[in-house]
Amino acid sequence: MIELKKNVAFTGPQGPVVLVIMDGMGIGKNPASDFVKQANTPNLDWLHENALYTKLRAHGVAVGLPDDGDMGNSEVGHNAIGCGRIFEQGAALIGKAIASGAMYADGSVWHELITHVHDQASTLHFIGLLSDGNVHSNINHLESMLRKAKEQGVKRARIHALIDGRDVPPTSAFEYVERFETFLDALNADGTVDYCVASGGGRMNITMDRYDANWDMVKRGWATHVKAEGRTFASMQEAVTTFRAEMPGILDQDLPAFVIERDGVAVGPIVDGDSVILFNFRGDRALEITKAFEADELKEFDRGGKPDVMYAGMMQYDGDLGVPARYLVTPPAIDRTMSEYLSNAGVKQLAISETQKYGHMTYFFNGNNSGKFATETWQEIPSDVCPFEDAPRMKADEITAAVVKAIEGGEYQFIRLNFPNGDMVGHTGRVDAVKLAVEAVDEGVGKIMAALKQTNGIMVCSADHGNADDMCELDKKTGALVLDEQGNYKPKTAHSLNPVPGIVYDPSGLANARLADVPNAGIANLAATCITLLGFEPPEDYAASLVAVG
């Protein structure tokens, strides 16, 4: 139980405290690659010069990832913001479980899956993102599991490989395809096992939808992985080469689905008696395909019959729902979130975003739990189903209008929102669209500022990680833009390692807020900051508030 303490120096503003997450809008190191800086952002520019402003760490160990070379992401970013502390996250936990052997121990879910394959004389399947982006998955985890499967006598394994190009460079597929095919050749060399890729496709084309935004992606993935229906090729390398030749300029994340065949027969449909592992560890883009495997009845699409398989996720993806039923590694137990603290204090809260980031402001913000606390209201604005570069404003106007209405209505003391534009459009690599996306967010921030000025509220404005601030490949030694043979910049679609802004805007000045001395501040410090500005004292083990008040 969190002990509640009122702040005697400042009991809170007259209006609400509003936490604005500008998803994917960090602070770039190279102006030529920073399309947050290149966009027209008069409101953010004014805040930089006139509000309380600092830089916050949003990657690596500051958000619970193994190393400071690891990009931050929306999942761990919202975890850190919402709980005010740093928990070791998926990649770090899995790495330790593999290194110690705990994941493979007798009595583990892994042992259960392997035993099932032996008992049924069946196939072990792996579905997941084939890269080392360390955001949703890591190819090193997959290779370790395949080595262990061979060691434990599994004769037949099939891999259903989703091509990344989003958490790694946008056309880097062959780096992973060639590595993985070489790896499989080595495993198969002694003739004792038959391990191969069975199907795949771009991660934004099949399988990895989230937040019920586009179940057709999952339907296509099901047809590809489970039923082995689709265009056939002799190898993954042939599939990627063919698609690139047919669709010049296509990004890896958008590649069509493919099925691998031998002698005219698909090598790896998923059938009764098989074991299946989804080796992605991040939850948002794992829940829908998991539901397709686990639900007795599925209304979202016709599965055409569900095979009787033993299914497991790399981690548990939803603690409240207990999904999946089996998982290889226990996720971090995130407790005592800011939402719980404020609910216990009787603070009415509104969480709002559009579909693409709705779960981040609810599920991830509340510590990977899908249940809401007593004083919370959640509002989802449906996202458009179209390429993000075609509608870069996304639903920024609708989110802003709803937030301004809530500010003026006076019902909520704390409002949290996410503008997805900088991240979702940033992932497309289309810099012209990215500028428009950032400008839409800036307009929204300006309207929220105006509403807070009228109501004597306070805004805390930050980001969960960078993206739109680093849209071009940079030379790792010089920091200069990397150009292709035609002299054009090479687009970058992944998140950045850049810091993000930490802004506090108090137009009334009643809080007398001033920046505190907080060494190595990161986005985990935002929770204590919001609690402080609401007139409470944050829990002692929270990362310190960025401001002092009163």
The response to whether 306 counts as a known ligand-binding position is no
Which amino acid appears at position 216 of this protein? Answer: D
CA distances for 88 relative to 80, 136, 140, 203, angstroms:
10, 15, 18, 26
The response to whether 23 counts as a known ligand-binding position is yes
CA dihedral defined by 91, 93, 94, 97, rounded to 10 degrees? Answer: 160
Distance CA 257, CA 206 (A): 7
Distance CA 109, CA 76 (A): 25
The response to whether 469 counts as a known ligand-binding position is no
The response to whether 15 counts as a known ligand-binding position is no
The response to whether 160 counts as a known ligand-binding position is no
Catalytic position from the list 33, 74, 353, 462: 74
The response to whether 118 counts as a known ligand-binding position is no
Can you give the length of the chain in residues? 550
Distance CA 350, CA 344 (A): 15
The response to whether 111 counts as a known ligand-binding position is no
The response to whether 423 counts as a known ligand-binding position is yes
- CB-based contacts of 534, cutoff 8 Å, min separation 6: 12, 13, 17, 342, 347, 413, 414
The response to whether 131 counts as a known ligand-binding position is no
**Is residue 539 reached through a cis peptide bond, with omega within 30 degrees of 0 on the bond before it?**
no
Buried b (16+ CB within 10 A) or exposed e, 362-380: bbbbbbbbeebbebbebbb
Structure tokens belonging to residue 106: 């007798």
The response to whether 158 counts as a known ligand-binding position is no
The response to whether 225 counts as a known ligand-binding position is no
By three-state DSSP, how is residue 489 classified?
A: strand
| 199: annotated active-site residue | no
Structure tokens belonging to residue 460: 């805390």
Judge contact between 491 and 52, C-beta under 8 A: no
From the number of C-beta atoms within 10 Å of its C-beta (0-12, 13-18, 19+), residue 338 rates as: buried
The response to whether 326 counts as a known ligand-binding position is no
Judge contact between 457 and 410, C-beta under 8 A: no
The response to whether 514 counts as a known ligand-binding position is no
The response to whether 116 counts as a known ligand-binding position is no
Sign for the CA dihedral angle at 419, 425, 431, 433 comes to: negative
Distance CA 216, CA 204 (A): 11
The response to whether 282 counts as a known ligand-binding position is yes
Judge contact between 252 and 175, C-beta under 8 A: no
Q: Which residue has the tokens 């031998």?
A: 262
Distance CA 138, CA 150 (A): 19
Residues recognised as catalytic: 74
Residues at the binding site for substrate are 136, 166-167, 203, 210, 282-285, 357
Residues at the binding site are 23, 74, 136, 166-167, 203, 210, 282-285, 357, 423, 427, 464-465, 495
Residues at the binding site for Mn(2+) are 23, 74, 423, 427, 464-465, 495
